[in-house]
Amino acid sequence: MTLFYLVQHAEKEPQPGDPGLTDLGRRQAARTAERLRQLGLRAVFSSPLRRARQTAGIIAAPTGLRVQQDARIRERMNWDGSQPMEDFLKDWAATVEDRDLVPARGDSSRAAAERLRACLTDLTEEPGPIALVTHGGVTVDLLRTLIGDRAVPDDLMQHSVPSCAITTLDHLSVVDITSVAHLQ
């Protein structure tokens, strides 16, 4: 089985659209890179969003690996500034409550989980371990699908995934959820 590390992108600039990383975010990504290098990382995949690509680039640099983009690991919704933040947050909350609700811009929670699961299934033939730099919402969506809502920690359901947290999967079996020990 392939070992997957789902990495939440590092801290991003607080702006709509496709922001890059903060200085703190770059330091978080560097610490994450060191941890994953120690674990024998063999491949790095990234969401196409800038914050994930930048995080993945920092993670891949010490290993010399090439970052491969895959749109299936993108976030289910991305605030682009075209609607007030309050409206975006209401839409987000509604899609958390109703996993089949398709927002005006983005995917339902269930559809996002299924596309991430399909990506992981396709990558099981790759030599691992593999890092996938992704986003908190889609990571939680996948966890809800794999282990059920009751098993997902409440803080993740309410506040999402911390920057550069690593969720470890052995194929589609959850091993560890949102570890940040490497950041301390």
Domains annotated on the chain, with CATH: 3-183 (3.40.50.1240)
- 21: helix, coil or strand? strand
Confidence bin at 104 (pLDDT 50/70/90): confident
- Three-state secondary structure of 62-111: HHCCCEEECHHHCCCCCCCCCCCHHHHHHHHHHHHHCCCCCCCCCCCHHH
The label of the residue with tokens 């790759």 reads 126
Q: Write down the pLDDT at residue 160.
A: 85
More confident residue, 82 or 181: 181
Quick check: 116 pLDDT over 80?
Answer: yes
CB 120 within 8 A of CB 169: yes
Q: Write down the pLDDT at residue 1.
A: 72
Quick check: 126 pLDDT over 90?
Answer: no
Interval 58-68 mean pLDDT = 97
Estimate the crossing angle of helix 136-147 against helix 109-123, to 10 degrees: 80
Computed over every residue of the chain, the mean pLDDT equals 95
> Could you tell me the two tokens for 176?
């560890």
